[in-house]
């Protein structure tokens, strides 16, 4: 493990090291100060948390929904000597977690969303089409797995999930193939699903694996990743002090769109248009700090190919009251989990 002077490291976290992506700009935008309280909503292997703790004499409340990330973080908690609180939770509840830890407000919230390399590389977690394992894909232990969705959802719901969240053009053919295959026997392994998709989605040499988009769509649905993100942004709005910073690193255009729309909406001062009367809006709750998203430079991408699709956006909280949050306006239209699980016989 190499640790730079700024506290960033390829953190050894069990089977595969997770290299923090866009760590330096994330830390700069977070503006870490002595005496501050920072919430790291995606602890993972603790790369961001470690760097925040190294940057100033501050407190960190770190959250992860994955019990194995929490277990691996125990040593860092001990080393931090009371400056780090690590909680197994979903980051959509980050304001409540901070309140329960004794803090009614925070100076910064950082989210580095998606899966960690450790999760991807452990065959038993079922995230990867490259290794055979149970078709699971849950970041936390609870709730329906990818196998439940694949075996119970209607063909139509499967096609929607794979099209909207996986952005797979051949979603209908994939859904049809899934329904045909599960009529013979339930689909329970990553290899079974990956082989089935590869048989209907043709890949040219040099293309990504044909199952990439289908796996991505199912993973995002199983973990309600977009809903979690939209709710976490609202939770950050509620918990941040005036002048506090929100920093989000995302890896997928659907996620980036949610962060961008949220920040634009919260920073807007005027409504209406040239042709319509001006609409009076509530006072802005954020000032946008990144007109364009920050992306990784060539050196970071060469060192860590995962950084290629990363986008960082940041905002600074104003002193206006938090808004009542409607997540629906930020999210694509999709069937609910309950409806999907009832779907097979529908």
Ligand X SMILES: C[S@@+](CC[C@H](N)C(=O)[O-])C[C@H]1O[C@@H](n2cnc3c(N)ncnc32)[C@H](O)[C@@H]1O
Total residues interacting with ligand X, rule: CB under 6 A: 22
The torsion angles phi and psi of 3, rounded to 5 degrees, stand at: -115, 125
CB 188, CB 244: distance < 8 Å: no
Contact flags string 18-47 toward ligand X, x per CB under 6 A: x-x---------------------x-xxxx
Contact region with ligand X (CB under 6 A), list: 30-38, 62-70, 145-153, 157-165: 62-70
Confirm or reject binding of residue 90 to ligand X (CB under 6 A).
yes
Residues whose CB is less than 8 angstroms from the CB of residue 73 and which lie 6 or more positions away in sequence, other chains included: 43, 46, 49, 62, 64, 86
Contact region with ligand X (CB under 6 A), list: 64-72, 124-132, 273-281, 335-343: 64-72
Comparing CA positions, the residue from 165, 163, 140, 152 lying closest to residue 216 is 165
Nearest to ligand X of 196, 246 (CB atom): 246
Contact flags string 239-278 toward ligand X, x per CB under 6 A: ----------------------------------------
Read off the tokens for 5.
């002077």
Confirm or reject binding of residue 316 to ligand X (CB under 6 A).
no
Confirm or reject binding of residue 116 to ligand X (CB under 6 A).
yes
Which residue from 121, 228, 237, 256 is in contact with ligand X, where contact means CB under 6 A? 228
Residues whose CB is less than 8 angstroms from the CB of residue 44 and which lie 6 or more positions away in sequence, other chains included: 13, 18, 64, 69, 112, 116, 118
In whole angstroms, how close is the CB of 65 to ligand X at the nearest point? 4
Read off the tokens for 124.
């038993």
Determine the Cα–Cα distance for residues 146 and 148; give it in Å rounded to an integer: 5
CB 174, CB 200: distance < 8 Å: yes
Judged by the rule CB under 6 A, the positions of this chain that interact with ligand X are 11, 18, 20, 42, 44-48, 63-66, 69, 90-91, 112-114, 116, 139, 228
């Amino acid at each position: 493990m190499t640790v730079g002077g700024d506290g960033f490291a390829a953190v050894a976290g069990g089977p595969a090291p997770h290299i923090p992506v866009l760590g330096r700009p994330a830390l700069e935008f977070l503006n870490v100060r002595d005496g501050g309280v920072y919430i790291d909503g995606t602890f993972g292997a603790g790369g961001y948390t470690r760097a925040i703790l190294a940057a100033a004499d501050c407190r960190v409340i770190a959250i992860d929904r994955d019990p194995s990330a929490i277990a691996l973080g125990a040593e860092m908690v001990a080393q931090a000597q009371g400056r780090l609180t690590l909680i197994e939770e979903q980051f959509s509840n980050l304001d409540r977690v901070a309140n329960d830890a004794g803090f009614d407000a925070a100076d910064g919230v950082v989210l580095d969303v998606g899966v960690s390399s450790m999760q991807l590389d452990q065959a038993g977690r079922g995230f990867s089409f490259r290794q055979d394992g149970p078709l699971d894909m849950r970041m936390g232990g609870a709730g329906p797995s990818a196998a439940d969705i694949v075996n119970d959802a209607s063909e139509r719901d499967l096609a929607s999930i794979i099209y909207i969240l996986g952005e797979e053009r051949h979603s209908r053919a994939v859904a049809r193939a899934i329904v045909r295959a599960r009529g013979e026997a339930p689909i329970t392994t990553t290899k079974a699903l990956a082989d089935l998709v590869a048989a209907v989605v043709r890949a040219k040499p040099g293309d990504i694996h044909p199952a990439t988009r289908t796996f991505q769509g199912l993973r995002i649905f199983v973990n309600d990743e977009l809903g979690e993100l939209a709710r976490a942004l609202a939770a950050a709005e509620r918990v941040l002090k005036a002048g506090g910073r929100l920093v989000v690193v995302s890896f997928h255009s659907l996620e980036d769109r949610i962060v961008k729309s949220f920040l634009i909406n919260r920073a807007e001062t005027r409504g209406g248009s040239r042709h319509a009367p001006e609409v009076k809006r509530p006072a802005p709750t954020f000032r946008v700090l990144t007109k364009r998203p920050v992306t990784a430079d060539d050196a970071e991408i060469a060192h860590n190919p995962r950084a290629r699709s990363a986008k960082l956006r940041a905002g600074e909280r104003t002193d206006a009251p938090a808004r009542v949050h409607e997540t629906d306006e930020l999210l694509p239209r999709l069937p609910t989990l309950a409806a999907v699980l009832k779907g097979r016989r529908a």
